[in-house]
Copies of this chain bind each other. A is one copy, B any other.
Amino acid sequence: MNDKLKNHYEGRAAIIKAMAHPTRLFIIDELEKGERCVNDLTVMIGSDMSTVSKHLSIMKNAGILGDRREGTTIYYSLKVPCILNFFGCINEVIFSNARISGELVDSCKSKV
């Protein structure tokens, strides 16, 4: 791998890394519904506001989120909605994993 190729993949990895955290995935899902302020998200998530703020700034720096100030409140929003397409594929992976480990059978019992 030469330097140019390395940069190419490092830039892409940085964006994916910004999504690779359960809390941040929750935030992305929530922002799909509309913009939210830090406090609202903090209540939903249930951890310290500083923690949530840091998660938001990680995604903002990666270019995934945008923010807008209104008085003392800052509203975050999804800047690149195509991110949501990821989840369909992630579901496929999870489905495929479950099929192999047999979990699917259990989780489907109620439907049988």
Contact = CB atoms under 8 A, between A and B. Distances in A.
Nearest to A9: B22
A45 B44 CA distance: 42
B63 A16 contact: no
Per DSSP, chain A at the interface is helix
Contact of A93 (B1, B64, B96): B64
State which size class the interface on A falls in: 35 or more
A100 to B, nearest CB: 8
B63 A93 contact: yes
Interface of A: 1, 5-6, 9-13, 15-17, 19-26, 44-46, 62-64, 79-80, 82-83, 85-90, 92-94, 96-97, 100
